[in-house]
A and B are shown apart, each in its own frame.
Chain A
């Protein structure tokens, strides 16, 4: 079974600064997908960014980028120019590729989350 570990229960950053959230995972699969989700107090999970394991290039979405180190099984999220609206819980998640899930889709395996605080 796959596991996802987020070792930072809470992180704090000044508005407009850059912050990096850590995530490591354990798997024996060679192909998979990694995600970062944001969960504000409204509880609704929102996809921030996605990375396919077979792609070496790190994904980027505006102010959000990842540092994907496949050999180290590390998948960190960097938020640049932090804004007050970025304050939320951030969850790292893993999903098997169809090859390992019988050809269909698969549920996500989440970490415990990191609470991100933005200080004005």
Chain B
């Protein structure tokens, strides 16, 4: 596709429920990132994939959060037993995966998650 797409654009769920957020990266991009942006804050890094493997998951806040990228393209962020504090915009980005600062991250429009 032309850009990074994320679905759904908005998700409302109840405390304790399980949610999945999907990210479709730009075709051919090997690197994929997930960020969380709380109200009034900048995005916060969660996890980075290079191909199918999670190269860095140091930003995941706890074991309720998990992400997969089984075929090296689409990624799913999974949140178990959601809490009200999980409410935020979840942003996905992808890049070519080249080393160095020229490897630009292109962002999707995000999924706004609201936990009631």
Interface residue ranges, A against B (CB under 8 Å): 4, 33, 37, 42-47, 50, 52, 91, 93, 95, 97-98, 101, 103-113
Q: Give Cα A51 to B50, complex, Å.
A: 24
> How far apart are A23's CB and chain B's nearest CB, in angstroms?
11
Q: List chain B residues, Cβ under 8 A from A43.
A: 89, 91, 109-110, 112
- Among residues of A, the one whose C-beta sits closest to the C-beta of B111 is A43
Q: List chain A residues, Cβ under 8 A from B48.
A: 105-107
Known: A112-B40, A112-B42. A97 touches B109 (CB 8 A): no
- With A45-B91, A101-B56 given, can you name 8 additional A-B contacts, CB distance below 8 Å? A33-B101, A47-B106, A91-B42, A93-B42, A105-B31, A106-B48, A110-B43, A111-B42
Q: List chain B residues, Cβ under 8 A from A52.
A: 101
Is the beta-carbon distance between B109 and A105 smaller than 8 angstroms? no
Known: A104-B55, A109-B45. A45 touches B99 (CB 8 A): no
Q: Give Cα A109 to B108, complex, Å.
A: 17
Q: How large is the interface on B (under 10, 10 to 19, 20 to 34, 35 or more residues)?
A: 20 to 34
Q: List chain B residues, Cβ under 8 A from A110.
A: 42-44
Q: Quick check: is B105 within 8 A (CB to CB) of the other chain?
A: yes
A-B contact pairs, 6 of them (CB 8 A): A43-B110, A91-B43, A98-B100, A101-B56, A105-B95, A107-B48
Q: List chain A residues, Cβ under 8 A from B43.
A: 45, 91, 108, 110
Is the beta-carbon distance between B40 and A45 smaller than 8 angstroms? no
Q: Quick check: is B27 within 8 A (CB to CB) of the other chain?
A: no
Is the beta-carbon distance between A108 and B104 smaller than 8 angstroms? no
Is the beta-carbon distance between B42 and A113 smaller than 8 angstroms? yes
Is the beta-carbon distance between A107 and B101 smaller than 8 angstroms? no
Q: Give Cα A42 to B89, complex, Å.
A: 12
Q: List chain B residues, Cβ under 8 A from A108.
A: 33, 35, 43, 45, 105
> How far apart are B91's CB and chain A's nearest CB, in angstroms?
7
Residues of B82-100 at the interface with A, using a CB-CB cut-off of 8 Å, are 89, 91, 93, 95, 97-100
Q: List chain B residues, Cβ under 8 A from A50.
A: 101-102, 104
> How far apart are A12's CB and chain B's nearest CB, in angstroms?
18
> How far apart are A4's CB and chain B's nearest CB, in angstroms?
8
